[in-house]
A and B are shown apart, each in its own frame.
Chain A
Amino acid sequence: MLELLKQPMPWYVAGPLIGLLVPALLLLGNKHFGISSSFRHICAACVPAKIPFFKYNWKKEMWNLFLVAGIVIGAFITQKYFSNNEPVQISESTKQLLQSWHITDFSGLMPMDIFGTAQILSLKGLIFMVIGGFLVGFGTRYAGGCTSGHSIMGLSNLQFSSLIATCGFMLGGILMSNFILPYIFKLF
């Protein structure tokens, strides 16, 4: 059993399990699955600065902060006790593409060439973590949700607006990854 849990999870197991989080949260307490709102609750709790968008009773949404704290803990436990220490099984064509971008380290979940702590104060850190993170926080709130809130919860509830948002996420990602990233990697 432990060996089985250590194996990478195929899509047809992971996807349905994530889908089941939708009814789980609805039935546990009428909660709508979503993650990006946690950023808003953190703003509301820490630096509301009299901005109307952050003036609400964030304590009522505290469940969301418990949910994201759980993700951190769950990921920690998984990496520590259920890891098989194998590289990510990406396709050969992706590997070749990334090598052409001078990415050399394929041993972990993330390329340490970009996301190592040594990169924090470099140009890579500025582009991939500081600017990238800002776009994630700004964009998700502007769109009113992220992959969980729109693409999974919203589409499960047949919301047209969530379909538009999901198309936006995909189009933005495709444009960045195919047409902008190759130029960014020429900077290094």
Chain B
Amino acid sequence: MQNQEYKMKDENTDFEVRSLDTMCTNESELNHPWWYNFKYLLVGILFGFILIKSEVVSWFRIQEMFHFQAFHMYGIIGSAVVVGLISVFLIKKFKIKTIHQESVDLHTKPFNKGQIFGGLIFGFGWALTGACPGPIYAQIGAGFLAVIVTILSAIVGTWVYGLIREKLPH
């Protein structure tokens, strides 16, 4: 299994699959049973609660943000970044380990043109759907079942990107 993985990485070095998409990844080298993942379910439940109660999932709030008519969304994203920054700084400075005694891996994410083009494309979608990916899941959970169409379409969008990515400027 592991050999196969290394082989896959080698085959893909031409277009740097991992380095182009290193966000949201599992950096752990440990092999835990699948049910260890339930702790992330709990983190998700907490995130879902915050997204609903702070109204981040609201299409109304997203339009308000993009018209600069309230501080609410900027306050949330800004203060989240400040707390995240301090946390990452402290983890690095004191070399804090995970609860399984692994050292925390933080790596650089190289710049490529995808961050500009893809960023703009996602921005268009964000203003239309009123949701970035986290809130799409939350909207469905909150009972807006039509948003299942949005998520299926987002999965198709991701798939089409995978299909044509070698032809796109990066």
List, in ascending order, chain A residues with CB within 8 A of B125's CB: 131-139, 172
Q: Are A36 and B24 in contact (CB under 8 A)?
A: yes
Q: Are B85 and A156 in contact (CB under 8 A)?
A: yes
Against A, the Cβ 8 Å flags (1 = close, 0 = not) of B108-151 are 11111011111111111111111111101111111111110111
Give the shortest distance, in Å, between B144 (CB) and chain A (any CB): 5
Given contact pairs A22-B88, A97-B67, A178-B66, A35 touches B133 in the complex (Cβ within 8 A): yes
Give the shortest distance, in Å, between B114 (CB) and chain A (any CB): 5
The residues in A between 137 and 188 inclusive whose CB is less than 8 angstroms from any CB of B are 137-162, 164-178, 180-181
Given contact pairs A29-B28, A173-B126, A76 touches B43 in the complex (Cβ within 8 A): no
Q: Are A148 and B8 in contact (CB under 8 A)?
A: no
Give the shortest distance, in Å, between A184 (CB) and chain B (any CB): 8
Q: Are A154 and B121 in contact (CB under 8 A)?
A: no
Chain B, interface residues (CB within 8 Å), range:
35 or more
Q: Are A144 and B21 in contact (CB under 8 A)?
A: yes
Q: In whole angstroms, how far apart are the Cα atoms of A148 and B77 in the complex?
A: 9
Q: Which residue of A is nearest B45, CB measured?
A: A74
Q: Are B59 and A78 in contact (CB under 8 A)?
A: no
Q: In whole angstroms, how far apart are the Cα atoms of A60 and B30 in the complex?
A: 10
Residues on B facing A (Cβ under 8 Å): 1, 5, 8, 11-12, 15, 17, 20-28, 30, 32, 34, 36-67, 69-73, 75-85, 87-88, 90-91, 96-100, 102, 104-106, 108-112, 114-134, 136-147, 149-163, 165, 168
| 5 A-B pairs in the complex with CB atoms less than 8 angstroms apart | A20-B83, A52-B12, A70-B45, A94-B70, A137-B153
Q: In whole angstroms, how far apart are the Cα atoms of A67 and B98 in the complex?
A: 18
Q: Name B84's contact: one of A28, A133, A152, A170 (CB within 8 Å).
A: A152
Q: Which residue of B is nearest A46, CB measured?
A: B155
Q: Are A73 and B45 in contact (CB under 8 A)?
A: yes
Given contact pairs A143-B115, A168-B122, A33 touches B49 in the complex (Cβ within 8 A): no
Give the shortest distance, in Å, between B42 (CB) and chain A (any CB): 6
Q: Are B104 and A27 in contact (CB under 8 A)?
A: yes
Q: Are A33 and B44 in contact (CB under 8 A)?
A: no
Given contact pairs A22-B84, A133-B152, A177-B67, A140 touches B158 in the complex (Cβ within 8 A): yes
Given contact pairs A154-B109, A164-B119, A129 touches B126 in the complex (Cβ within 8 A): no
